[in-house]
Amino acid sequence: MGTVGINFGPINSGQGFDVASTVSQIMAAEQAIEDPWKTQLSNLKAQDTVLTQFGTDLSTLSTALQKLTDFNGVLAGKQGSSSNVDAVAISSASNLAVAGSHTVVVNSLAQTSTQYSDQITNPNDTLTGSLTITINGSDQKLDVSGKTLSQLAASINGADMGVSASVVTDTKGSRLSLVSNTSGAAGEIAMTSSLTDDANGNAVGFKESMAGADASLIVDGLDTTSASNTVTGLIPGVTLQLLAKTDPSNPVQIQIVTDNSSIQQAMSDFVNAYNQVVDDIQAEQGKDSSGNPMPLYGDPTLALIQNQLTQALLAGKASGSIKDMSQLGLSVDKTGHLNLNGDTLDSILNSNFSDVEGFLQNADSFGSNFGTVLDNLSSTSTSGVLSLALKQNSSQEDILNQNISNQETRIASDKANLTAELNTANQILQSLPSQLNEIDQLYSAVTGYKRSS
């Protein structure tokens, strides 16, 4: 600690000294005690930033891995193809679909029942009578009094009678169109009408433009029907869209295969996420542009993360013909980064998909063990390596902050006391000339001796 000098000139000058400056010098010496604490606190905060980023990148890696290890993830996804997309299209293939081939013959398409009324020349004519709509044995009657076709359509739609009503107008007049809300035979519309046109007394009847009918098809040799042209359940997990009748002698071929492209993308995401963590580790093993060690340089947490990830790449039981990750096209280069050979992965998916599933999803498999390692490293698990490291830093930071706070409290108290004491001393110094003058006057008065000024 340096010394602090007080400059007040000759003792009888009365000029005193600068109290504020003197107090600042003394307090600076006390505040210097905090410097090592603040430096350590700054270093810990820098470590926290890096550890938090590690946690984020490990979480991204965990999410990427889960897409491969989740039983309902990308390995469960399927793709479908049709040999005649103009006749039978594949709307979707869920994770319930099983890879394989199927044949489909479309004998006839499903139809939705439609009815239309007789033509009314003036669409503003009102109607009188009643209308009964029967669908699947259920009758619904609507009394009509003074309604135009448009008003009647609105009443039908508002009454939830199982049909959708609209008015179709052309150069010859208007008609009421009814379309069943239920496709297939079950939605067949039967009409009973006693409507008359108030303007001319003509009866208004209804005609069927299309009968409700179920689709007829043969799937893998099995005759079946469907009320809709959107067919689900006949091939597990697959939704078919029937578009046209087909030639029975030339069935449509439906092929269900694994979704290799999505699996390749998920594996690529896993590789990229792993390599980001490797980059994080390597960035902490050197110095910054100023030559200072990185926040986690030499930290055992860094080595632990690196060792556990390296071991995770080698762990996990074999699954059938799959013994290690290299058979999935994964390899580690000399920099520690993962690489993916897409051709190798595609080949093994096509030739031995079930063993790939087992290698990634079985108990104690490569995927299962890797997930456990990531959980043990995470910043979200209370027992995770990163979580414990951040907790330890936080505890040290609390102690350092408390030390700094206590020191600041002492400095404030010392500053107040020192300022008061130095102000008193300064006042004494400043009062010395007048006191000496009083003594001189008193001496002169007693002795009669006067000194020259």
Per residue in 318-329, pLDDT tens?
A: 898 999 999 999
Give the pLDDT confidence score for residue 78 in this predicted structure: 87
Class of residue 217 by CB neighbours under 10 A (exposed 0-12, middle 13-18, buried 19+): buried
Is there a contact between 442 and 435 (Cβ–Cβ < 8 Å)?
Answer: no
Distance CA 112, CA 208 (A): 11
In the chain, what is the straight-line distance between the N-terminal and C-terminal CA atoms, in Å?
45
Distance CA 11, CA 290 (A): 52
Domain ranges of the chain: 1-77+259-453, 78-110+215-258, 114-210
Half-sphere exposure of 50 (CA within 13 A, CB side): 22
How far CA 371 is from CA of 56, 128, 276, 307, 336, in Å, comes to: 15, 74, 17, 15, 19
Give the pLDDT confidence score for residue 14 in this predicted structure: 58
Is there a contact between 98 and 257 (Cβ–Cβ < 8 Å)?
Answer: no
Distance CA 312, CA 314 (A): 5
Is there a contact between 23 and 418 (Cβ–Cβ < 8 Å)?
Answer: yes
Q: Provide the residue type at 129 as one letter.
A: G
Distance CA 297, CA 47 (A): 10
Give the pLDDT confidence score for residue 453 in this predicted structure: 46
Give the pLDDT confidence score for residue 426 in this predicted structure: 73
pLDDT per 10-residue tile (average), the chain, 453 residues: 56 66 79 85 88 92 95 88 95 84 96 95 92 91 92 93 93 92 95 93 94 96 95 92 96 92 95 96 84 85 91 90 94 95 94 92 93 90 87 90 88 84 77 72 72 52
Q: Which two tokens stand for residue 19?
A: 């109290």
**DSSP 3-state percent helix, strand, coil across the chain (nearest 5):** 45, 25, 30
Give the pLDDT confidence score for residue 308 in this predicted structure: 93
Rounded to 10 degrees, the C-alpha dihedral 89/95/97/101 comes to 70
